[in-house]
Amino acid sequence: MRGMLIRIAAVLCALVAFDSFAADRKEWEEHSHCRYIEKKYNDGDSFRVSCGVKQQILRLYYVDAPESNMSIPSRVAEQAAYFQVKDSDVLASGQAAGRRVRELLQEPFSVATKWTVAGGRSKELRYYGLIEVGGRQLGEILVSEGLARTKGVVLRLPSGGRASDYLAKLRGLEREAKTQRKGLWAHSKIR
């Protein structure tokens, strides 16, 4: 039985690596004048957007915002452990992240995507993407405000920049938010 579980885990790891490789080979598509579409399930890193006549659920590359409800208790617990906070702090910050995204995306924004499927529990497909609003990347804003952490699928940027350089930038923003006790970091036991 243990051998079977190890083989299954190996196959899943290979599929994730292949999906990441396949996503990096696709071309980026960029869409401007996009709009945020209000939906009950929207949160800090996954929400409905409209670019022209096309609507889709977009999941941000590179970042993970706190959960805003207890529908996935294991995710809340994992995030609470990462930030070293209580589950209730995760949920409150997840709700704050959702509000912040809704606020930031009231003005038109641009989306860059490769139409790579982002998994999740929704019956509807979610696609990974990057959002630029007001000349800044939404993920960077969330991380710098302590409303998300650096995590997720990694691939070359639309500009051609290296993912490792971008991740280093995000990690720097996360360290600053942690040091300045912003967002969820304000509740952290980490000093």
The model's pLDDT over 33-82, given as tens digits with 9 standing for 90+, comes to 999 999 999 999 999 999 988 899 999 999 999 999 999 999 999 999 99
pTM of the model: 0.85
The model's pLDDT over 82-130, given as tens digits with 9 standing for 90+, comes to 999 999 999 999 999 999 999 999 999 999 999 999 987 778 899 999 9
Cβ atoms of residues 176 and 145 within 8 Å? no
> Could you give the domains of the chain?
28-187 (2.40.50.90)
The model's pLDDT over 8-29, given as tens digits with 9 standing for 90+, comes to 434 444 444 444 444 456 899 9
The span from the CA of 60 to the CA of 40, in Å, is: 18
Owner of token pair 């790579």: 116
